[in-house]
Structure 1
Amino acid sequence: MPEGHSLHRLARGLHRTFAGDVVASSSPQGRFDSGAQILTGRVLEEAEAYGKHLFVSFEGGEVVHVHLGLYGTMQKAKSPAPEPRGAVRWRLESPTWYADLRGPTACDLVGPLGREAIVARLGPDPLRADAEPERAKARILGSRATVGTLLMDQAVLSGVGNIYRAELLYRHGVSPFLEGRLLRPAVLDAMWADLVLLMNDGVRRGRIVTLDPGDMDAMAELDADRPAADDPELDGGEDSPQIRRLRRSTGVYVYRRQGRACLRCGVPVAAQDVQGRRLYWCPGCQRLPGQRRPRPKRSTT
């Protein structure tokens, strides 16, 4: 599922491309036909993201809510638009651009009140200027749930997904199994500030990079060998296209690096399924209070 930076990048691109234009709106697939008919011929006023949700506002107060889910995509290109192929839920067209939405979990006409109701269920979004981090801080510090679980709860913190969760906890040496109420407030403040920087960097790059600049060369050297291939989230063996892409684009400390030596302490990165998602952490750098440090991974050279 796309993380928050992807939705903000999408929203900014749509806003730059269509805001202020009269747009044609259609639903080639038919599942958004009634909404598209209401919107066609109206001015698109704004596209914005809140966490993993996209809101597109039109003149007259109409608002479309989009949630991409696991498989949704929305891509734009120069006009003229070709004949729709496949299940295009929603097509936007201006005189110079078009955009096709495919496979979303949600694409609904909700209006301003509907937008407010959706946002009211969400925690603060680190990428928004109107974010209120104190709301997330209060929820986390008052909870007996683990920090790893809380960071993925969109009602606590909006826009954070599996990659940012793993990397943020690693960067601050926090065990994902630590109860929220036991996290030091100063550490949580530092994590929020770091998340704001990391996610904004993700918007600019179009991908997630969490390695500090000084660790880039060291990680490249560490990755000179073959990456682990027993990750259930990766299809194929060690020579699969996914593995090769992963090897070329390494920019993270622990995500999908299970069994490989931690860059900082040498202990093998661990992975475990938690509430249906794969959790990654370093047992050496991210220990619970009182836990003994595991032995580093022995070199095979």
Structure 2
Amino acid sequence: MPEGHSVHRIARQFDRNFVGRVVAASSPQGRFAEGAAELDGRTATEVRAVGKQMFLEFDHGLFLRVHLGMYGAWDFAGEIVADPTIASANGRMGQTNQRGTRLPPVIMDESGENSLTSIGAPRRARVHVRMSEQTTGLDDEGEQWPPPVVGQVRLRLLTEVTAADLRGPTACELQTPDEVAATIAKLGPDPLVDDVSEGEERFTAVVRRKPTAIGLLLMDQTVVSGIGNVYRAELLYRARLNPHTPGREVPEELVRALWRDWVRLLAIGVETGQMMTMDDLDPEAYRRAMASRDDRHWVYHRAGLPCRVCGTDIVLEEAAGRKLYWCPSCQR
């Protein structure tokens, strides 16, 4: 499932490539035909992400709300302008690690996780480069513009130079400003949206009164926004916290430390496009980690493998229908 960093990256990409531009909207799949007709010919005016949801506002006062869910993704083509705070395939964009150390130029992930052309559930997308003065036909490399629709595209948004295709979302709907406010009001704090100190207080207060296991609370979007399976497992390991501990039994300082670590990891995820959760890697280890998920996590996706610290086999359990990875020795 796409986690919070991906949605913030998507929102920033829309901000640089769609906001302020007239958008042609269509629903090739047909499941969002009425909504697309409402958006067609309108100008995108603002975009924001909160947790795992994105809200794209148009000049008639309606918002496009998208929740990617388990399988959703945006595929981009055409002229893609990268956010300068985000690492791109063409060079470094201010990458730093958890401790502020300057890092080498961006290293592309072998599975395309940090791609600018497909953000969301893992998939590969081909980049189409076109001449900006063209409106139809072929681009300078012989590719068709607009690019042909491939697969089940719920929504296509198109400017003169950039295309964005939405596939497989859990939610794709139009909302009024009041409906957007009501949706956001139900969500827990997001470090990139809310005041960080106020978010810490909200998060701490909720967790400290809940009898629910902390491993479930971190996945509850009404408690904290944006955390998914990967970040849940890694945050708990980094805190050396048993995922089954009731929230109200987690010491307050440890709850606050979880929030602060989430603030750090989310910022790194947005900047690099990858859920990097390991600190203090030497340059070669860092390159391996950026290139391969298997080398950048402490416990996630490591069931049956030895813990990187103590050597105990990493355990895989099912918690509320999702996979939970943890070390029973380090996280007692």
- Could you say which TM-score interval applies, normalised by the shorter chain? 0.7 to 0.9
**Partner residue in 2 for 1:258:** 303
The alpha-carbon deviation at position 217 of structure 1 amounts to 6.7
Q: Which deviates further from its counterpart, 57-66 or 122-131?
A: 122-131
CA offsets 1:165-188 (integer angstroms, 9 cap, x no match):
110011111110111111111111
Counterpart of 2:34 in structure 1 is: 34
| C-alpha distance 202-279 of structure 1, shift in aligned 2 (>3 A) | same
Counterpart residue number, 1:24: 24
1-structure distance, mates of 2:286, 2:150: 42
Query: C-alpha deviations, 1:66-118, integer Å up to 9, x for none?
Result: 11112211111116312323221111111111111111111101121111111
Q: Which residue of 2 aligns with 1:274?
A: 319
AA aligned opposite 2:149: P
Counterpart residue number, 1:99: 164
Q: Does 1:174 pair with 2:241?
A: yes
**Count of residue correspondences:** 264
- Of 256, 262, 266, the match for 1:189: 256
Deviation at 1:205, TM superposition (A): 1.2
Change (3 A) 1:82 1:89: same
Q: 2:185 aligns with which of 103, 120, 123?
A: 120
Tell me the equivalent position of 1:199: 266
Instruction: Measure, in 2, the Cα distance between the counterparts of 1:201 and 1:86.
Output: 32
Select the residue among 201, 220, 224 that pairs with 1:134. 201
Provide, for residues 200-250 of structure 1, a one-character-per-residue CA deviation record: whole Å limited to 9, x for no partner.
1011111111011248878999x9xxxxxxxxxxxxxxxxxxxxx85x751
Q: Percent identity?
A: 47
1:15-40 per-residue CA deviation (whole Å, 9 max, x = no partner) reads 11111111111112221111111211
Contact 1:169–1:176 (8 Å) recurs in 2:
yes
Q: Describe the superposition over 1:121-152 as per-residue Cα deviations: whole angstroms up to 9, x where unpaired.
A: 11111232445232221110001111101101
1:3 matched to which residue of 2?
A: 3
Q: So what's the TM-score if we normalise by structure 1?
A: 0.82
For residues 264-288 of structure 1, the C-alpha deviation after alignment (integer angstroms, 9 at most, x for no partner) is: 222221111111111111111111x
Residue pairs, 1:213-232, within 5 angstroms: 213-214=280-281
Q: Which residue number corresponds to residue 73 of structure 1?
A: 73
The whole-number CA distance in structure 2 between the counterparts of 1:218 and 1:40 is: 47
The 8 Å contact of residues 64 and 111 in structure 1, kept in 2 or not, is answered as no
Check whether the contact 1:218–1:263 (CA below 8 A) recurs between aligned residues: no
**Offset of 1:2 from its aligned partner?**
0.5
Cα RMSD between the aligned structures? 2.1
Match of 2:150 among 85, 103, 108: 85
Residue 291 of structure 1 corresponds to which residue in structure 2?
A: none
The one-letter code matched in structure 2 to 1:195 is: W
CA contact (8 A) 2:77 2:147 kept: no
Say if 2:189 is the partner of 1:145: no
Q: Secondary structure at 1:163's aligned position in 2? A: helix
Whether contact under 8 Å (1:3, 1:160) holds in the other structure is yes
**Distance (Å, rounded) in 2 between the aligned partners of 1:216 and 1:273:** 35
Residue pair 1:23, 1:40 contacting (<8 A) in 2 also: yes
Moved over 6 A (4+): 215-221
Shift of the alpha carbon at 1:60?
2.1
Q: Relative to structure 1, is the Cα distance of residues 251 and 173 closer, same or farther in structure 2, using a 3 angstrom cutoff?
A: same
Asked whether 1:14 is paired with 2:6, we answer no
One-letter amino acid of the counterpart of residue 108, structure 1: E
* Paired residues of 2:294 and 2:301 also in contact (CA < 8 A): no
Does the 8 Å contact 2:64/2:174 carry over to 1? yes
Map of 2:109 onto structure 1 = none
The one-letter code matched in structure 1 to 2:182 is A
What code does the residue aligned with 1:149 have? L
> Matched residues in 1 for 2:45 and 2:255: separation?
36
CA contact (8 A) 1:25 1:90 kept: yes
Q: Tell which has more relative contact order, 1 or 2 (C-alpha 8 A, sep 6+).
A: 2
Once residues 115 and 130 of structure 1 are traced to their aligned partners in structure 2, the CA distance between those partners, rounded to angstroms, is 19
Could you tell me how far apart the structure 2 residues matched to 1:212 and 1:163 are?
16
